[in-house]
Amino acid sequence: MADYPEYWNEEMETLSPERYHDVQEKALLKQLKYVWENSAFYQKKFGEAGIELGDIKTLEDLSKLPFTEKAELRESQLEAPPLGTHIACAMEKVRRVYSTSGTTGRPTFIGVTKKDIEVWREAACRAFWTGGFRPNSIVPLVVAPFFIAASYADAIETIGTLVPIGVGATDRLIGAFQNIGANAFLATSSFPLHFAASLRKRGIDPKSLGIKVILAGGEPGAAIPSVRKEVEETFGCVFLEMMGNGDMCGQIWSECRYKRGMHFVAQGIVHPEVINPDTGEALEIKEGTKGELVYTSLDRECIPLVRFRTRDHIEVTQTSCECGRTGFGIRVFGRTDDMIIVQGVNVYPAAVRDTVASLHPRTTGAIEIQLHEPPPKGWEPPIHIKVEHGKDAGDLSSLKKELEALIREKLIFRANVELVPPDSLPKFEYKAKLVRKLYEEEGK
């Protein structure tokens, strides 16, 4: 067996704390100058905050800048389609436009230039290599081409061998392992056990596929000990966690074989902060720190983002590791808002409500998303949704099918709609509670 090196990019992945600070600071100041000169969105945003470029002289000064919220990016693209006022290059330089799932009613579009593609490939290569992909890895890819995860193909074929599969092609996926010799896999955290069930229905032992490593992301769960144990025992493989951010960079974090949390691997590409989600205060990054992740682009040409709030709730698990990678590691506990993730697709409860309400007056618009188990299992489709039908709903069986089809089309996940009479769901004076976590109620 070939003796491969430990790192994809040893220089960047093993930076000393002092060198890390210098690399990040130099890249930040260069990126901010570019943003100031090229993004109308940030020219206005910083001007309104009374910030001048000269106010930011060090990495520590980053906290002086205002946060960028996801809602601002959507509004920016509505104002100046397709890529918004926050674009920082000519449209002629854009080589790809990805989109989010549009779970808030309209997808967010993500443009990348040739340089951006190269930078994202580098970040993903670091992440996949950290998780165990090597030149002898043969990796089937099952993501939809319009999602940012489709960019993973660039990194897979840079490291090893890519086998394009597409979504919903279980037999083709099985064939990649049985006929082509695929031996590694990218998946959402909940997919491996779904896949194992499909294999057993076909009389196939999951271990017979010869999978050596599964890297999982898109939803919490891969680092849950019971989930990890079941997947590893089922397939006879290593099951590790990774994470990126569609608006920022395809891959930013990846777990190594020591399984002590996901390493930050995007040095010189992204700058991470951990903040108190309630106050916005930047927190010291040390083992045990809990808070919300905030990202700033350090090497982005098309859509650089400054202090972008991810709403990811994390805990710092390590500041060093036996593998020699420096920086820090994290585990993700979920969102700081009410979003849920269904097989890698971000689902906003308000978007579900709005989709249901579009059939008014056949529906009242009132819904209750019911989660019977914690993630990842509790977020496996079909998601159970109670929906109040209207007084003139017509045939309820037809309405149920229409709602399920509409949710699938608009929000890209499968739902099991339970129609209930008007005024039967709880009413709230302030903010409607659209998600009911029954597993927490049952535990009381």
With the CA atoms of 225, 228, 230 and 234 taken in that order, what torsion angle do they form, in degrees rounded to the nearest 10? -160
Structure-model confidence comparison of residues 226 and 25, the more confident one: 25
- Which pLDDT score is estimated for 1? 40
Q: How is residue 178 written in tokens?
A: 């049985």
Residue-range domains of the chain with CATH: 1-335 (3.40.50.12780), 342-442 (3.30.300.30)
Could you give the angle at the alpha carbon of 27 between the alpha carbons of 25 and 29, nearest 5°? 70
> What integer pLDDT is reported at residue 161 of this predicted model?
98
CA atoms within 13 A on the CB side of 358: 12
CA separation for the pair 62, 274 (Å, rounded): 12
Which H or E run includes 43? helix 40-48
Lowest-confidence region among 310-314, 397-401, 431-435: 431-435
What integer is the mean pLDDT of 221-238?
A: 87
pLDDT, residue 282, reads 96
Q: In the chain, what are the helix, strand and coil shares in percent, each to the nearest 5?
A: 35, 25, 40
Question: How does the average pLDDT of the chain come out, rounded?
Answer: 90
Across 3-26, average pLDDT = 96
Do the Cβ atoms of 123 and 269 come closer than 8 Å? yes
- For residue 184, the cross-strand partners are 213
pLDDT over 80 (residue 102): no
pLDDT at 225: 80
Tokens of 31: 């990126």
d(CA 141, CA 187): 9
pLDDT at site 429 = 36
Q: Kind of pairing, strands 363-371 and 435-437?
A: parallel
Average pLDDT over residues 41-61: 96
**Phi and psi angles of residue 292, each rounded to the nearest 5 degrees, phi first:** -105, 140
Half-sphere exposure of 288 (CA within 13 A, CB side): 0
Please provide residue 388's backbone torsions phi and psi, each rounded to the nearest 5 degrees: -80, 120
Q: Which of 99-108, 178-187, 195-204, 431-440 has the lowest mean pLDDT?
A: 99-108
Could you give the angle at the alpha carbon of 233 between the alpha carbons of 228 and 234, nearest 5°?
Answer: 100
Which residues, 6 or more positions from 278, have their beta carbon under 8 angstroms from its beta carbon? none
What whole-number distance in Å separates Cα of residue 66 and Cα of residue 46? 8
> What is the pLDDT, as a whole number, of residue 360?
81
For the stretch 114-123, pLDDT in tens is 999 999 999 9
- pLDDT, position 104: 46
The mean per-residue pLDDT over the stretch 146-168 comes to 87
Helix (H, G, I), strand (E, B) or coil at 244: strand
Closest CA to 15 of 328, 325, 330: 325
- SS3 string, 378-415, reads HHCCCEEEEEEECCCCCCHHHHHHHHHHHHHHHHCCCE
What is the mean predicted confidence (pLDDT) over 254-270?
Answer: 97
- The alpha carbon dihedral of 294, 328, 244, 112 has a sign of positive
Residue predicted with more confidence, 105 or 362: 362
| Residue 103 clears pLDDT 70, i.e. is over it | no
Percent of residues, the chain, with pLDDT higher than 90:
69
Lowest-confidence segment of 30-44, 259-273, 390-404, 418-432 by average pLDDT: 418-432
Quick one: pLDDT band at residue 175, thresholds 50, 70, 90? very high
Distance CA 295, CA 197 (A): 37
* pLDDT value of position 336: 67
What is residue 68's DSSP assignment?
B
More confident residue, 62 or 366: 62
Reduced 3-state DSSP string for 302-368: CCCCCCEEEEEEEEEEECCCCCCCCCCEEEEEEECCCCEEECCEEECHHHHHHHHHCCCCCEEEEEE
Tens of pLDDT along 357-394? 888 889 988 899 999 888 878 888 999 999 999 988 99
pLDDT for res 2? 65
Neighbours of 135 (CB within 10 A): 11
* Per-residue pLDDT tens digits for 191-229: 888 899 899 999 999 999 999 999 998 766 688 787 788
Instruction: Write out the E strands in 267-307.
Output: 270-275, 290-297
Digit-coded pLDDT (tens) for 408-425? 998 889 999 999 998 898
The mean pLDDT value for 281-287 works out to 96
